[in-house]
Amino acid sequence: MSFFRPFRPALKLRSRRARLLAALFVAHCAVPGNPAAQGATSAPPTLEPAKQTEKDWEDGRWQKTDVGPFLESILPAPNGTIAKGLSIRVGDRGQATVGYDTAAPNLRVAWTGGFLRFATARFGIIGEPSPAGPILFTSARSNAWGGARAEYRGLTLHSNRVAVSYAVDGTAISEMPWIEDRGDWLVVVRNFELAPHSTPLRLEVLELKGASSAQERSEGSLLEATLSTDSVLAWAGALGPALLSPEADKRGRVILTFPPSAKIERIKVLLWSGPPARSTELSALLRSTAPPESLARWTEPGAVLWPAIATQGSNGAGNQPYVVDTLTVPYDNPWRALMFTSGVDFLPNGDAAVCTLHGDVWVVGGIAEKLGQLTWRRFATGLFQPLGLRVRNGEIYVLGRDQITRLRDRDGNGEADAYDNFSNLIHTSLGGHDYVTSLELDAAGNFYFVDPIGAHRIAGDGRSIKTLATGWRNPNGMSVGPDGTITVSPQQGNWTPSSQISQVKEGAYYGFGGPHATPDQPLGYEPPLCWIPHSVDNSTGSQVWSPMDPKRWGPLSGQLLSLSFGRCALYLVYRDSVDGHPQGGVLPLKARFISGSMRGSFRSEDGQLYVVGSQGWQTAGPRDGCLQRVRYAGGKFYDPIGLSSHQDGVHLKFAEPLDPSIAEDPGSYAVEQWNYRYTSSYGSKDYSVKDPSQEGHDAMRIVSAKLSEDRRSVVLALPEIQPVMQMKISYNLTGADGHAFRGDLYHTINGLHRP
C-alpha cells in the first residue's frame, strides 16, 4: 500500500522542509480523488494551507444564488440584531421581505426592494446577511406576546409562499405573510389563523420610536390604528375578530389583541409606515382588500421548484486496497447554488442526503458500485449554515446554527415542503465564527452536536439538552461510536497548541480558555486522546466509526477514522487506554479528497464510506465541495492497525504478517518525540522533551525490535519511553509476501501499560 519508493535498510530522517514538501507532494499528486484524476475543470489554484490569506476566501458568488423563498440566518434589524432570523420573500415577484425572530416568535422587521445582501468575506459565511432595501417598519424586539409562552413550530411551503406556525400558551397559530402591491407603494399583510382559545392573546405588531400621537378607529369589522411623528406615520389595519390599540409612549407601539374564541378564527392585518399623506389611501385600501381567508390552501404542498439535474460519477483506479470514487457534484446548476457540502447520510432507499454550508439539502440518486449517471435534486433550501445531517426513521434532520430542522416531503414530489422545528434549544451566538457542527445519533435516537460552548446531547424528542463537556476551540468535528464513545476535534489556536482528538469524559474540561487546575487535574485540563502535528492535520474534521464488516470494508472494519479538513485526507485513529485514561494516535491513509473533508457516513447498501467537505479556511482542497466514496477494492493493508505504549516500549499490530529479517532490524524504524506548550499564544512550536527550553525533536534509541510468533506484532524496546504529547514512529518494512511499504504514525502517551 506504499505510495513512496521503499528505502533500505535503515530510515534516514528527512529535514523539516523535506517532510513538508513530501506532504504537499502527496496532497496534490494525481491519485484517485485528485481533480486531475477525476476530470475536474476550472478548479482554482491550490495553495499550501499555511500560506492562504483572507483574499483567498473573498467570494461574492452567493449574491447571485437563487436561495429560495426564505433564508434562516442572523439578521440585523434597526432595533437590534435577530439571532434566530427568518427572512421570507413576499409578493409574486419578491417585491418585499419580512424578517421573523423564530425565538420569539414574531415578525420583527420588513423592507422593500431586494432580498438580502450577502457578505463576501470567507465565502459569505462569517458575516451575517443584511436587508437589501429600505426598512418599511419594525415591531417588538422582545416579549412581543406580552409574557405568554410562545414556541416556534416551523414553516410550510406552497411554491413560493411560506407559512409559519407557532403556539402561544398552547394555542396553535398559523401565519402567512404577503403584500398588497399598489404600484408605487407596498403594504405588508399578515394572515393569521388561530385555533380555539379561552384567554385573550396579545401581540405587538408595530413600533414607532418617539411617536407623539396615537389614534384608533373602527368601521364595522374594519380596524385602524396609527402612530405618528412630525414626519412618519405608522399604520395598522385589521379585518376580523381582533382589536388594535396604539400606544404613544417612549417606544410607541400598536398592540393586536385576539379575544377568546370557541372556534377557529381568521384575521388579516395590514402594516405600513411612511409619509403621513398616505393615511387616506390606507383607509381606502383597508376597505377594498379581500376578507381573511382560510390558510389551508397555502399550507398544502405546491408545485416543484427545483427540477432534478444529472451528473456523471467516476470510479477511482489504482492498486490500493482502498480507492476514492467521485460522485460528481453539480457545481454549475441553474440556480447558481453554491455546493460547499457539509453533511451526508442515507435514506432507506440508499439515496444520499447532502447538506451544503449555504443552506441547501440535496438528495442524490443512482448510486451504484460502478458509478454512472447520478440524479441530484435540490430537496430543501434556506437553512442556517447547516454543518451536519442525519437520517432517523427515514426522515432527514439538519443541524443549523438556530435549530435542528426535520424536513418532510408531504406529497412525495421530491422536495421538502415542511420544515419542522425539531429543537431550537441550540444557543445561537452572534459571533461570526461560532459555528454549530457535526450532528450525530446514538442507538437510542438522541442527537449530539458540538459548538464553541461544548459537546451537547439533545433528547430523542427534542425537548431537552445537556452539555456533556466543554473547553474546545472552534470544534469542527465529533463522533458517537456504537458503544456510546464520543470524540471531539477542535482547531489549533489559543490554548490549543496543535490539532487534536479528544475522547469525551462527561463533565470534563478540555483546556480552551486557560487552565482550570484541580487536585484531580493538575494540568488544568483533560488531556486529549491524541495530539496531531499541525503539519500533518492543520484543521481536523469529524470522526467516523467503520462497521464491523470485513467482507465489505476489509481490514479497517471496526476502526475509528478521522477526516482532515485542512489536508483533505483520511486517518486511521489508534485507541488505547491506561488506567481509564484514553490515549492514541493517527496514521495518515492514502485517500485524498478534492475538498476539505468534514463529514462521513457509511452506506448500509454497500458498506462503503461516503465523505463530504468544503473549501476555505486553510484547506488544500481545490473544489467548493465534494461527495466521494472510499471503497474497499480488495487486497492487503500492510500498515499498523493497532498501537499501545508500555513501560518498556511500543507495541505495533499489523493486519499482515511481516518479513522477520526486516521487522526485527531496529534500523527499519525511527522514533522521535516532542512536547507542545499550552499557553494563550496561537498554537505552539515543537519543544524538546529532554530540554524543554529548546525547540526541536528528540530522537529515541531503539534497543530492539521483536516480532511475535504470528509475525503480525512488533514490540520496539524504548528504554527512554515516558508520557509525551507527541511521538512519531517511522517504519520501513516488508510483508511476508515481499511487499515493501513505509509510513509514519503520530501518537500521544498519557500513561504506560505494564511491560
Number of other residues whose CB lies within 10 A of the CB of residue 30: 11
**Residue 98: what residue type?**
V
Instruction: Give me the pLDDT at residue 54, please.
Output: 66
- pLDDT 10s digits, 215-226: 999 998 899 999
Q: Residue 553: which of 321, 266, 319 has the closest Cα?
A: 321
Query: What does the alpha-carbon distance between residue 662 and residue 399 come to, in Å, rounded to a whole number?
Result: 50
Q: Residue 326: which of 601, 614, 594 has the closest Cα?
A: 594
Q: Provide the edge-to-edge strand list for the sheet that holds 649-654.
A: 640-646, 649-654, 713-717, 704-707
Instruction: Give me the pLDDT at residue 38, please.
Output: 33
Which CATH superfamily is 309-632 part of?
TolB, C-terminal domain (2.120.10.30)
Q: Please check the confidence at residue 6 and state whether its pLDDT lies above 60.
A: no
Q: Please check the confidence at residue 288 and state whether its pLDDT lies above 80.
A: yes
Q: Please check the confidence at residue 14 and state whether its pLDDT lies above 60.
A: no
Please say whether the beta carbons of 247 and 290 come within 8 A.
Answer: no
Percent of the chain having pLDDT more than 70?
93
Spatial CB neighbours of 288, under 8 Å, sequence gap ≥ 6:
none
Q: Which 3 state secondary structure label does DSSP give 284?
A: helix
- CATH class of the region 16-30+639-749: mainly beta
Q: Where in the chain is the domain with CATH 2.60.40.1220?
A: 16-30+639-749
Pairing type for strands 341-346 and 740-749 reads unpaired
User: What CATH number labels 69-299?
Assistant: 2.70.98
Instruction: Give me the pLDDT at residue 220, please.
Output: 87
- Determine the distance from the C-alpha atom of residue 293 to the mean position of all C-alpha atoms in its chain, rounded to a whole number: 40
Number of other residues whose CB lies within 10 A of the CB of residue 372: 12
Using CA atoms, how far residue 360 sits from 150, 335, 389, 563, 724, in Å, is: 28, 12, 11, 22, 44
Summarize the confidence of residues 688-708 as an average pLDDT: 98
Q: Provide the edge-to-edge strand list for the sheet that holds 454-458.
A: 437-441, 447-451, 454-458, 465-469
DSSP assignment of 300-354, as one string? S----SS--EEEE-B---SSSSEEEEE-----S-TT-----EEEEEE-TTS-EEE
CA angle, 620 then 41 then 63, to 5°: 75
Q: Please check the confidence at residue 44 and state whether its pLDDT lies above 50.
A: no
Question: For 358-369, what is the HEC assignment?
Answer: CCCEEEEECCCC
- pLDDT 10s digits, 397-417: 999 999 999 999 999 999 999
**Residue 279: what residue type?**
S
DSSP β-bridge partners for residue 162? 157
- pLDDT 10s digits, 145-163: 999 999 999 999 999 999 9
Please say whether the beta carbons of 216 and 234 come within 8 A.
Answer: no
DSSP β-bridge partners for residue 479? 487
pLDDT class of 43 with cuts at 50, 70, 90: very low
Q: Residue 748: which of 530, 476, 569, 588 has the closest Cα?
A: 530
Summarize the confidence of residues 243-252 as an average pLDDT: 90
pTM of the model: 0.93
CA quadruple 435, 354, 89, 138: dihedral, nearest 10: -20
Instruction: Give me the pLDDT at residue 26, please.
Output: 30
Instruction: Give me the pLDDT at residue 24, please.
Output: 28
pLDDT class of 76 with cuts at 50, 70, 90: very high
pLDDT class of 16 with cuts at 50, 70, 90: very low
Question: For 190-208, what is the HEC assignment?
Answer: EEEEECCECCCEEEEEEEC
- pLDDT 10s digits, 336-359: 999 999 999 999 999 999 999 999
**Mean pLDDT, all residues of the chain:** 92
Using CA atoms, how far residue 603 sits from 426, 442, 637, in Å, is: 28, 17, 22
Summarize the confidence of residues 474-494 as an average pLDDT: 97
Query: What does the alpha-carbon distance between residue 692 and residue 256 come to, in Å, rounded to a whole number?
Result: 69
- Terminal-to-terminal C-alpha distance of the chain: 31
Please say whether the beta carbons of 345 and 389 come within 8 A.
Answer: yes
Instruction: Give me the pLDDT at residue 520, please.
Output: 85
| Look-up of cell digits 411551503 | 157
Query: What does the alpha-carbon distance between residue 425 and residue 560 come to, in Å, rounded to a whole number?
Result: 30
- 11 vs 320 pLDDT, higher one: 320
Q: Residue 354: which of 337, 369, 371, 370 has the closest Cα?
A: 337
For residue 753, give the DSSP letter: B
Alpha helices in 592-746 (DSSP H): 660-663
Q: Please check the confidence at residue 7 and state whether its pLDDT lies above 70.
A: no
Percent of the chain having pLDDT more than 90?
85
Q: Residue 318: which of 704, 628, 82, 591 has the closest Cα?
A: 591
Cα dihedral 259, 260, 263, 264 sign: positive
Alpha helices in 498-608 (DSSP H): 550-553
Query: What does the alpha-carbon distance between residue 748 and residue 586 come to, in Å, rounded to a whole number?
Result: 9
Q: Please check the confidence at residue 485 and state whether its pLDDT lies above 90.
A: yes
Q: Where in the chain is the domain with CATH 2.120.10.30?
A: 309-632
DSSP H or E stretch at residue 187: strand 186-194
- pLDDT 10s digits, 579-624: 999 999 999 999 999 999 999 999 999 999 999 999 877 677 789 9
Instruction: Give me the pLDDT at residue 47, please.
Output: 62
- pLDDT 10s digits, 121-135: 788 888 899 999 999
Summarize the confidence of residues 179-188 as an average pLDDT: 92
Q: Please check the confidence at residue 698 and state whether its pLDDT lies above 60.
A: yes
Q: Where in the chain is the domain with CATH 2.70.98?
A: 69-299
Q: Please check the confidence at residue 567 and state whether its pLDDT lies above 80.
A: yes
Q: Please check the confidence at residue 15 and state whether its pLDDT lies above 80.
A: no
Query: What does the alpha-carbon distance between residue 141 and residue 136 come to, in Å, rounded to a whole number?
Result: 16
Number of other residues whose CB lies within 10 A of the CB of residue 152: 22
Summarize the confidence of residues 681-701 as an average pLDDT: 97
Q: Please check the confidence at residue 546 and state whether its pLDDT lies above 70.
A: yes
Q: Return left, alpha or beta for 460; rule: phi > 0 is left, psi -120 to 50 is alpha, else beta.
A: alpha
- 468 vs 432 pLDDT, higher one: 468
Count the residues in the chain: 755
Summarize the confidence of residues 488-507 as an average pLDDT: 97
pLDDT class of 484 with cuts at 50, 70, 90: very high
Helix (H) and strand (E) counts for the chain?
Answer: 6, 51
